[in-house]
Amino acid sequence: MSKIEDVKVLVETGKSKKVAAAVQEALDAGDKAQDILDAMIASMGVVGDKFSSGEIFVPEMLIAAKAMSKGVEILKPVMAGDGSSSLGTCIMGTVAGDLHDIGKNLVVMMLESAGFDMVDLGVDVPAERFVEAVKENNNVVLVACSGLLTTTMPALKEAVQTIKAAYPDMKVIVGGAPVTQEYANEIGADGYAPDAGSSASKAKELIGA
């Protein structure tokens, strides 16, 4: 098995304590950092698909994301200054009045693993804060809003519409238990992901990556 294949398996199976060494070995063997990163991103794609299909569960996705981040730590110095690996910045938060963070955190991990630079605004984020974050950060290509309560659906709508009013061309993706594709369409969001596993592919699709 090639060193890159080792890395892929270790990420997919969430072996965070072994990934760093495997990435270093792949680099030492002459593999390019970008190729190693692409392999890890592909692994997380597999992890996301398995989560969406019910083959794996939240803990497996969490440890895979952690393993990936350990691998990325090794690659970062090697790839410093090389912006080609980033898909751009994504601002993410759970909307005002809603303190749910699990789903949001999973999506942050999956999008980060897919190559986005993530800015996590946390929970209970007022609509205006999303707009400020777009202003404050460079190369923002996507805003992701999460809402887990039926009672915070109006806040989700307000967030999407406030972002769109300030940045009409900004892509906005939404998700959360009560959210549906129909509701996403109704409030003017560009995209909807039913679960964290599928959020990365939907986000990439929205920005044309």
Partner 1 sequence: MLTIRENLLETMKGGNPDRFVKQYEFIDLIMEVPLGVEFNYGQTWKDHWGITWQWPEGQLGMFPVHHDGLAVIQDITEWKKTVVKPAIETSDEAWAPALAHANAVDRKEKFATVFYAPGIFEMTHHLMGMENALMALYEEPEAMQELIDYLTEYELDFAAVMVDKLHPEAILHHDDWGSQISSFVSPDMFEEFFLPAYKKIYKFYKDNGVELIIHHSDSYAANLVPYMIEAGIDIWQGVMNTNNIPELVEKYGDKITFMGGLHSGTVDYPGWEKEVVKKQVEETCKANGRKYFIPCQTSGLPIENFEGVIAYIDECIDEMSKELF
- Footprint on this chain of partner 1 (rule: CB under 8 A): 14, 16, 51, 54, 56-60, 62-63, 66, 97-103, 105, 122, 124, 149-152, 177-178, 194-195
Considering the complex, state which of residue 11 and residue 141 has its C-beta at the smaller distance from partner 1: 11
Q: What is the SS3 assignment for 173?
A: strand
Least Å distance, CB 106 to partner 1, is: 8
Least Å distance, CB 17 to partner 1, is: 9
Considering the complex, state which of residue 42 and residue 149 has its C-beta at the smaller distance from partner 1: 149
Considering the complex, state which of residue 26 and residue 184 has its C-beta at the smaller distance from partner 1: 184
Residue 33 to residue 132: CA distance in whole angstroms: 34
Least Å distance, CB 138 to partner 1, is: 25
Contact between residue 65 and residue 72 where contact means Cβ atoms under 8 Å apart: no
| Number of other CB atoms surrounding residue 80 within 10 Å | 8
Residues near 71 by Cβ (< 8 Å), separated by ≥ 6? 7, 10, 11, 19, 20, 22, 23, 36, 40
Least Å distance, CB 150 to partner 1, is: 4
Considering the complex, state which of residue 52 and residue 137 has its C-beta at the smaller distance from partner 1: 52
Secondary structure letter of residue 171 according to DSSP: E
Least Å distance, CB 30 to partner 1, is: 32
Considering the complex, state which of residue 67 and residue 140 has its C-beta at the smaller distance from partner 1: 67
Q: Is the dihedral of CA 196, 199, 201, 204 positive or negative?
A: negative
